[in-house]
Amino acid sequence: MFDPEQFGNLFGNMQKEFSNLEEKAKETIITAKSGGGLVSVSINGAGELVDIVIDDGLLQDKESLQILLISAINDAYKSVEENKKSMAFQMLGGLPFGTK
């Protein structure tokens, strides 16, 4: 039988867990490198770019710098998305579906 109180408690717990995951994500820093480490970018779990490191040797080669920067940023964002999915699966795995 459907118990509205139990559903409300479950929903409240999910909201708290989601808020905790968002905070944890903001604290997570993901770094990606390209060009053998000539360019490095760091993005937090909320998707905010927090640091860029560029080797001085690239400052004279604008085209290579652009390519390596785009590559590093794209890799970092992919890692952020994978991290979010992993955290969501962990959260869903801890929910008491089907329990009484």
pLDDT bucket at 20, cuts 50 / 70 / 90: confident
pLDDT bucket at 99, cuts 50 / 70 / 90: very low
CB 50 within 8 A of CB 61: no
Model confidence pLDDT, tens digit, residues 42-81: 999 888 999 999 999 999 999 999 999 999 999 999 998 9
pLDDT bucket at 94, cuts 50 / 70 / 90: low
Note if the pTM is more than 0.85: no
Contacts of 40 (CB under 8 A, 6+ apart): 31, 32, 33, 51, 52, 53, 72
Q: Is 57 exposed, middle or buried (0-12, 13-18, 19+ CB in 10 A)?
A: exposed
Domain 4-93, architecture per CATH: 2-Layer Sandwich (3.30)
Model confidence pLDDT, tens digit, residues 48-59: 999 999 999 999
